[in-house]
Amino acid sequence: MAFVTLTRAVPPAEVGEGSVPRVTVVTAARSIAVRTALTREDLQLKEIAVDAVPEGAISALEEAEGMLTLVDLFPGEVLLARRLLDPNIITGDGRLSLFLSPDEVLMAIPASDLLTKQWLLKAGDRVDIAISLEFDVKAISEQSTASGEGTAPGTTTEKQLASFYVLQNVGVAAVLGEGGTTESGGLVGTTQRTAGVLPQALLLTLNPQDALVLKFALDAGGIQDMMLRAPGVEQPFETEPVDAGYVVDRYRIPLLTR
């Protein structure tokens, strides 16, 4: 009884927080599906005990950002290098290897839009593709009669410019610069902007039908622009094609006719 009384009277020795070595690892910030390109919003840093760190754990956000997941990840799960794949791999023969879903194709388009030219796009980004394209539009006009007396209604063909989203929520696989690789043999990235390397092509992952639609729009002379989506936003945007008539009606621009 005396021993029990004395044991309860003396508080147990507390272990200080700094007595157990801890390290920082990268964990999943939310549920992440397989074949997802990781963004900064998918990741978070967490301190855990050294003896609890699994082999191959990633310790820096930069090491995981842009990588593709090979398995489903759950909130708080430590990211392991063996469960991620670099989508931008240069093989021994110098060919770029990319991770594609079975129902996707890889399409390269010219890096002609300003976002791509400034190296603001990177692997894993989701973009909307806007196109400005001229269409042949038939218009009713007053034409002189064959006898030269009076006029009669006729039709003429005019070129009218229209801007519209041709595709939405498209995945960026990579941005390629001059030569396709850096001096060290790796894929050209956003850091090459300061080195004077110019982007040449934007690689997109598309389903085959969307790829044909985009090819048609570009072959018809369409002017492309990329609109970068906020991370995690995947729903389609409801928009209307914009032409001269739309602008006039929306802003109530008075037109003088003679």
- Tens of pLDDT, residue by residue over 78-95, are 999 988 877 666 555 555
Q: What is the pLDDT of residues 93-130, one digit of tens each?
A: 555 556 667 788 999 999 999 999 998 988 778 999 99
- What's the pLDDT at 211? 97
Please give the CATH architecture assigned to the domain spanning 21-85: Alpha-Beta Complex (3.90)
- Where do the structural domains in the chain lie, given as residue ranges? 21-85, 91-246
Q: Model confidence at 187, in pLDDT bands (50, 70, 90)?
A: very low
> What's residue 13's pLDDT?
46
Q: Mean pLDDT of all residues in the chain?
A: 81
**What pLDDT does 66 receive?**
83
Is the predicted pLDDT of residue 138 greater than 60, yes or no? yes
Q: How far apart are CA 231 and CA 125, in angstroms?
A: 8
pLDDT of residue 185 exceeding 50 = no
Note the pLDDT of residue 152.
58
pLDDT of residue 233: 87
Which DSSP symbol is given to 136?
Answer: E
Specify the amino acid at residue 57: A
Q: Which residue has the tokens 């030269």?
A: 148
CA–centroid distance for 25 within its chain: 25
Q: Hey, which of 10-14, 27-31, 103-107, 155-159 has the most confident mean pLDDT?
A: 27-31
Short-list 60, 18, 55, CA closest to 43: 60
How far apart (Å, rounded) are the C-alpha atoms in residues 106 and 95? 14
pLDDT: which is higher, 2 or 134: 134
Cβ(90)–Cβ(181) below 8 Å: yes
Helix (H) or strand (E) holding 212: helix 208-219
How sure is the predictor about 157, in pLDDT bands with cuts at 50, 70 and 90?
confident
Contact 26, 60 (CB under 8 A): yes
C-alpha dihedral, 180 to 184 to 190 to 196, nearest 10°: -80
Q: pTM (2 decimals)?
A: 0.61
Please name which of 87, 105, 104, 83 lies closest in space to residue 96, comparing C-alpha atoms. 87
Q: Within its chain, how far is the Cα of 86 from the centroid?
A: 16
